[in-house]
Amino acid sequence: MTGRKQNLLWLQSGGCGGCTLSLICAESPDFLVAFETAGINMLWHPTLSLETGQEANEIIDDVLSGKTKLDILCLEGSVMQGPNGTGRFHMMAGRGEPMKDVITKLSAMATHVVGVGSCAAFGGITTTGDNEAEACGLAFNGDLKGGLLGPDFRSKSGLPAISIPGCPVHPDWVTQTLAQVTAGTVRADDLDSFNRPHAISGTLVHHGCARNEYYEYKASAQNLCEIGCMMENLGCKGTQAAGDCNKRPWNGGGSCISGGYPCIACTEPGFEEPGHPFTETPKVAGIPIGLPTDMPKAWFVALASLSKAATPKRLRQNATSDRARVFPERKKKGGH
Partner 1 sequence: MSRLVVGPFNRVEGDLEVRLDVEGDHVQSAQVVSPLYRGFEGMLKDKDPRDALVISPRICGICSVSQSIAAANALGAAQGIKPLPNGQLVTNIVHASENVSDHLTHFYMFFMPDFTRDTYAGAAWYPAISERFSAITGAASQDMLPARAEFMHIVGLLAGKWPHTLSLQPGGATRVVAQHEVQHLRAVLSGFRRFLQRFVFGGSLEAFADIASLDDLANWRETCRGDLPTFLKVSKDLGLAKLGGSGDRFLSFGAYPSAEGHLFARGVSHGTELQVLDTALISEDISNAWMQGEGPALHPFDGRTKPDGDMAQGYTWCKAPRLDGLPAEVGALARQVIARHPLALDYISQTGGNIEARIVARFLEVAILVPQMEAWLETIRPDDAFITHGVTPDKAEGAGLVEAARGALGHWLRIDQGRIANYQIIAPTTWNFSPRDAGGQAGPLEQALVNAPIRNGEVDPVSVQHIVRSFDPCMVCTVH
| Residues between 278 and 317 that touch partner 1 (CB under 8 A) | 278-279
Listed in sequence order, the residues at least 6 apart from 232 whose beta carbon sits closer than 8 Å to its beta carbon are 218, 220, 281, 288
Quick one: which H or E segment has residue 99?
helix 99-109
Could you tell me the smallest distance in angstroms from the CB atom of residue 178 to partner 1? 15
Could you tell me the smallest distance in angstroms from the CB atom of residue 60 to partner 1? 9
Burial of 62 (0-12, 13-18, 19+ CB in 10 A): middle
Cβ proximity to partner 1, 222 vs 305, nearer residue:
222
Give the whole-angstrom CA distance, residue 243 versus residue 164. 11
Near partner 1 by CB under 8 A: residue from 9, 19, 70, 319: 19
Burial call 4-43: b when 16+ CB within 10 Å, e when fewer: eebbbbbbbbbbbebbbebbeebeeeebeebbeebbbeeb
Give the whole-angstrom CA distance, residue 209 versus residue 223. 18
80 binds partner 1 (CB under 8 A): yes
Name the β-bridge partners of 42: 8
Cβ proximity to partner 1, 307 vs 321, nearer residue:
321
Contacting partner 1 within 222-281 (CB under 8 A) = 223-225, 249-262, 264, 266, 272, 277-279
Listed in sequence order, the residues at least 6 apart from 38 whose beta carbon sits closer than 8 Å to its beta carbon are 1, 6, 175, 178, 179, 182, 183
Do residues 73 and 107 lie in contact, with contact meaning Cβ atoms separated by under 8 Å?
A: yes
Contacting partner 1 within 94-133 (CB under 8 A) = 94-95, 99, 125-126, 128-130, 132-133
199 binds partner 1 (CB under 8 A): no
Do residues 135 and 82 lie in contact, with contact meaning Cβ atoms separated by under 8 Å?
A: yes
State the DSSP code for 177.
H
Cβ proximity to partner 1, 92 vs 161, nearer residue:
92
Q: Looking at 80-88, 201-209, 212-220, 289-297, which segment touches partner 1 (CB under 8 A)?
A: 80-88
Could you tell me the smallest distance in angstroms from the CB atom of residue 133 to partner 1? 5
Q: Looking at 19-27, 140-148, 193-201, 205-213, which segment touches partner 1 (CB under 8 A)?
A: 19-27
Could you tell me the smallest distance in angstroms from the CB atom of residue 89 to partner 1? 5
* Beta strand ranges found along 142-251 (DSSP E): 144-145, 162-164
Near partner 1 by CB under 8 A: residue from 6, 7, 9, 12: 12
Cβ proximity to partner 1, 140 vs 250, nearer residue:
250
Near partner 1 by CB under 8 A: residue from 38, 79, 92, 103: 92
140 binds partner 1 (CB under 8 A): no
204 binds partner 1 (CB under 8 A): no
Contacting partner 1 within 162-181 (CB under 8 A) = 167-168
9 binds partner 1 (CB under 8 A): no
20 binds partner 1 (CB under 8 A): yes
Cβ proximity to partner 1, 261 vs 300, nearer residue:
261
What's the Cα-to-Cα distance from 152 to each of 99, 160, 190, 278, 294, rounded to whole Å?
21, 8, 18, 33, 28
Burial of 76 (0-12, 13-18, 19+ CB in 10 A): buried
Cβ proximity to partner 1, 278 vs 300, nearer residue:
278
208 binds partner 1 (CB under 8 A): no
43 binds partner 1 (CB under 8 A): no
Give the whole-angstrom CA distance, residue 152 versus residue 170. 28
Cβ proximity to partner 1, 21 vs 188, nearer residue:
21
Could you tell me the smallest distance in angstroms from the CB atom of residue 126 to partner 1? 5
For residue 165, the number of C-alpha atoms closer than 13 Å in the C-beta half-sphere is 35
